[in-house]
Chains A and B, each alone.
Chain A
Amino acid sequence: MITFRREKSSLSFKAEVLSNTPLNAEHLLLTVKPIAVETINAVAAEATEVKGSMTPAKATSLKGPVAPPEPGQFYMLRVGPFPEPLLKRPLCFFRLGDNGSIEFLYRIRGKGTRLLSEIRPGAEIDVLGPLGRKYPRPPKGKTPLVVAGGTGLASVYPLIQSLGGRAVVFYGSSCGEEILFKSELEQMSAELHLATDDGSCGLKGTVLDMLRDYKLTADHFVYICGPEVMTSSVAKAVKETGAKGCASLEAHMACGVGACMGCVVMTTKGYKRVCREGPVFKLEELVFA
């Protein structure tokens, strides 16, 4: 097993797929266990604090164990053999599992995530991360209010977990089938407000409808993750109340580490990289079309 360590840790590792379980028609829960830190680095070769079995790769040296993820960060996962598909896919850190495993909650969206859904337990995949900025802690005296839409739950779930029962949670999806981890969320949240488009679970409507009826004030600190339309409409509503907060954004990514400038979004300070300055941005920084 690889222990999580902050210093001298490697961002590149091989992981064994422990499970890849369908949760409903479109969503799966992937659990991977880091098995080998693999990077060429003669300089950092001394930094190995790895317990248990390791499979050192040829012509590479070990650079220390895997870094611990924080809520809001993400990983890049290789979903098929090189060169198809060429690029890794970004997935949020969902939560830690047993024995130092890492879990991801994902939705099948296109070719890459479909390939990922076909990976069987026992397979090895290349992983890069954790990457990007984490969610900030709520400022003193503010109540954390979390807004999640659809698969956006993946990003805020570990945040809700880390807030130790303080979070007021608004979570919306298309239908009851798509409301995931309901009992866990009920346990972890101070309040859980659910909405579905068809009304099959919670309120019939959107998270924005629920928020309009809620006494959102400047005493809240808001966290948003969901589809772009939801994020922008909720962000606007939040700004009107004078509350502060942040949102996690998505962009097409190539490198995931800040080198290609491919994943930018417009902010009040010009284009910023989602993979580096984000994916979590302050609401006041964001410029919506």
Chain B
Amino acid sequence: MDLSVNIGPMKLKNPVLTASGTFGYGEEYAEHYDLSLLGGVMMKGISARPREGNPPPRIYETPSGMLNAIGLQNVGLKKFLKEKLPFIRQYETACIANVLGETPAEYVKLARALDEAGVDGIELNVSCPNVKKGGVAFASDMKGMARLVKKVRAEVKHAALIVKLSPNVTDIRVPARLCEEEGADAISLINTITGMAIDAETRAPVLANITGGLSGPAIKPVALRMVWEVYHTVKIPIIGMGGISNGIDAVEFMLAGASAVAVGTANFVTPDAAPRVVEGIKEYMKAHGINNVSELTGALRMPGA
């Protein structure tokens, strides 16, 4: 059984990654299982300098999902290179850095440093709903996003350049096409969907940040639809995510067009959710006589076809 997939220049031993921000830098979950079981780890978003993040409360549970407004609390580039990257390098798994700059120049600086440090993939977070600069600004400014991808592309020589798209747009195909045109190696989607929770008793918003990003099983149908739309728009590989909790969920994303998948909120539900997804994919392949996992990508049977 061949589980390996290629995302641009990046080789993954299996198509299962952990989604950025839901897995820290891997240290905590390494206490629960061997990270070498994973295709790769998408690290918590890093910025040029350490970030404090938003005041609490930062999370709130919703029906089959959760809202978060962490605000990218992270250790910053320096500490990432010194401590976090060597840690993950102990494992036989791909390391994908997720970057968030406040300005295009900062994205470029981060991407260059990470590429030189030898990460396997660089995921540009142009879609974080919880930070004012960088994140949402790019999600809605298509031209700005395209210019950013172009600039970063010129700097990234070794790693796979992945752009993470926001679902908070009218037509996901527009940014997807722009990313492909500007030379991105892959697209990852979806980031969280902007949402809000209100406490009727106190008449106040629940999150200190007022709005937050919705994730978990609740967003899976939206994510599947977007992966499917993007698959029919671009040729570069897609890393699908949004509510994936088991092997069958992952298979559905691959049928919709994803070449690889990422497990996010499900890590919080079951610490070893991601390796269980790997096992689940294998079981499905066995049951359906599939030898090569990439056969699943885009293998959706359309009615009447």
Contacts and interface: CB of A to CB of B under 8 A. Distances in A.
Interface of A: 11-12, 39-44, 59, 82-88, 126, 128, 251-266, 270-271, 276
Interface in B8-33: 21-24, 27-29, 31-33
Contacts of A262: 58-59, 68, 70
15 contacts: A39-B272, A85-B61, A86-B61, A86-B217, A87-B66, A128-B271, A254-B61, A255-B28, A255-B271, A261-B53, A262-B59, A264-B53, A265-B56, A271-B52, A271-B56
B33 A41 contact: yes
Nearest to A253: B59
Given A40-B275, A262-B58, A82 B32 contact: no
A261 B73 contact: yes
Interface stretch (B161-169, B232-240, B262-270, B295-303): B262-270
Give the interface SS of chain A, mostly helix, strand, loop or mixed: loop
Interface residues of B, number: 43
B61 A260 contact: no
Given A126-B270, A262-B68, A265-B56, A257 B279 contact: no
A257 B68 contact: no
Interface string B46-68: 00000011011111110111101
A85 to B, nearest CB: 6
A82 B218 CA distance: 12
A40 B66 CA distance: 25
Given A262-B58, A264-B56, A42 B268 contact: no
Interface string B65-108: 11010100100000000000000000000000000000000000
A76 to B, nearest CB: 9
A162 B61 CA distance: 35
A36 to B, nearest CB: 14
A-B pairs with lowest CB-CB distance, top 6? A262-B59, A259-B24, A255-B268, A40-B275, A254-B268, A43-B34
A263 B73 CA distance: 12
Interface string B131-145: 000000000000000
Nearest to B27: A258
B178 interface: no
Contacts of A254: 59, 61, 66, 68, 265, 268
Contact of A82 (B53, B55, B269, B271): B269
A12 B272 contact: yes
Contacts of B267: 255, 259
